[in-house]
Structure 1
Amino acid sequence: MQPPAEPYAWPRSHILSGNPVQTATYIYTSPDNLFAAGIWTCEVGKFRIDFGRAEFIQILEGVVIVTDAEGTAKTYRAGDAFVTPKGFSGTWDVIEPIKKHFTWYGSGE
């Protein structure tokens, strides 16, 4: 049985538009908290993000435009997979409500 989704919100200072309410369901977290896998959802909206960990992402539903600090934008849709490197800084603009499978590695610092 899958654990329940835990809702959370970005600090208002990170939200650029919309109301990107999110949930995370952790399917697995390693005992040392350096590796995790789960499902993340987000409603329509745009927010700034800084990835403190390397993360593999597979989009299960929805559409998002990811823009890095240099202004390079990429659009991802259901079925797309990509890796966000540790240290990524930029924005996520959720165009259609999104659901992703994630696995991350690192301390988050």
Structure 2
Amino acid sequence: MVEASSAPHIHDASTYDDLVDWGMQPDSVEGQSKSTGRLVHKGPNNQPESGIWVCTPGRWRLSIPRDEFCHFVAGKAVYRSDAGEEIAVEAGTVVMFPGGWSGECHVIETMRNIYMLV
């Protein structure tokens, strides 16, 4: 549960399981990735937004609208930009995707990402 305080938080975010069904991942290229998650905080005009995102295996197109900081705490995935850059992620990986980054995400093992979209 997101604790009500001046600093919203979730204990044990890497194993927290009270997640909400966010549906199928849009723009699928291969497989049927399903997303679940929990919003921790959303500020004025939806900025910043932070939370937990869990996604099952599959591959899809994506375009990141604003800078997004991601701390992957479980699973494996490969992000490939339209420019050919490849970023392999697994538990312990931290990535700062700049706004406008676009390409594909291929989730190999169900991943869990603690994120902040600014």
The answer, yes or no, to whether TM exceeds 0.5 is yes
Aligned partners of 2:81 and 2:102 also within 8 Å? yes
Runs of 4+, deviation exceeding 3 Å: none
Taking CA–CA contacts closer than 8 Å with sequence separation of 6 or more, which of the two structures ends up with the larger relative contact order?
A: 1
Alpha-carbon deviation of 1:4?
A: 4.3
Q: Which of the residues 72, 80, 94 maps onto 1:59?
A: 72
Q: Secondary structure at the match of 2:44?
A: coil
RMSD: 1.3
| Paired AA for residue 5 in structure 1 | V
| TM, length-normalised to structure 2 | 0.81
What residue ranges of structure 1 are gaps of 5+ in the alignment?
none
Deviates more, 1:94-103 or 1:1-10: 1-10
1:79 matched to 2:92? The reply is yes
Partners of 2:66 and 2:110 lie apart in 1 by: 23
Q: Secondary structure at the match of 1:16?
A: strand
Q: Secondary structure at the match of 1:86?
A: coil
What residue ranges of structure 2 are gaps of 5+ in the alignment?
3-17
Q: How many residues align?
A: 103
1:10 matched to 2:25? The reply is yes
Say which structure is richer in strand: 1
Larger Rg: 2
Q: Percent identity?
A: 25
Q: Which of the residues 38, 42, 47 maps onto 1:25?
A: 38
